[in-house]
A and B are shown apart, each in its own frame.
Chain A
Amino acid sequence: AQSVTQPDIHITVSEGASLELRCNYSYGATPYLFWYVQSPGQGLQLLLKYFSGDTLVQGIKGFEAEFKRSQSSFNLRKPSVHWSDAAEYFCAVGGGLTGGGNKLTFGTGTQLKVEL
């Protein structure tokens, strides 16, 4: 069974500081990995995705993530956080792209607070 662990429930960083959100996954084959962001009361917006190839992927809003197979991790990073980045971040694993994207399994999320 596939699963995702986001060990940090809450993270607080100062504006301009760097950010790393942790994500560990469990999946029996090559995983398809995603990071989504959710603002209060809103749906999920895709930040970035990893399917194959280069293990460092770039996303929107200056975010990047690195896939490390040996550590079963897909951590999200940003070099300089902006106050508008405050939101909840979800890591998700999917089982491939057969027939429409397959189901996603999400972590419990990390709530990011940005101090001005």
Chain B
Amino acid sequence: DAGVTQSPTHLIKTRGQQVTLRCSPKSGHDTVSWYQQALGQGPQFIFQYYEEEERQRGNFPDRFSGHQFPNYSSELNVNALLLGDSALYLCASSNPTDTQYFGPGTRLTVL
């Protein structure tokens, strides 16, 4: 049974560019949450998707947006990248009565 998968593993962008990160949830899970983990910090909640809609949102600007597809996979989009967006982006999947399980993350570097 495959766990949560994320792509790409690493990504390098320049300031002002846009980026799309992808996540496939664990089999049987229908909810996807995204977190940003800056170096030396704990993960910070960005938003959560359920039934293709954003259910909850953390304290992140509108430059951060997402989408969930009918197969429950999800994308995180970040526009107008800033140096401060450099971080490990973690995706977690769950179902309504389960714990969140995390993927390996995507390391984004903004130059």
Contacts and interface: CB of A to CB of B under 8 A. Distances in A.
B62 interface: no
A63 interface: no
A44 B100 CA distance: 10
B25 to A, nearest CB: 11
A100 B48 contact: yes
Interface residues of B, number: 31
Contact of B48 (A42, A49, A97, A103): A103
Interface in A83-115: 90, 92, 94, 97-109
Interface stretch (B11-19, B37-45, B76-84): B37-45
Contact of B102 (A4, A41, A44): A44
A106 B36 CA distance: 11
B56 interface: yes
Given A103-B58, A108-B42, 8 more contacts: A34-B99, A90-B42, A100-B50, A103-B33, A103-B45, A105-B45, A108-B40, A108-B41
Interface of B: 4, 30-31, 33, 35, 40-45, 48, 50, 55-56, 58, 90, 92, 94-105, 107
Closest 4 CB pairs between A and B? Answer: A100-B31, A106-B42, A101-B94, A44-B102
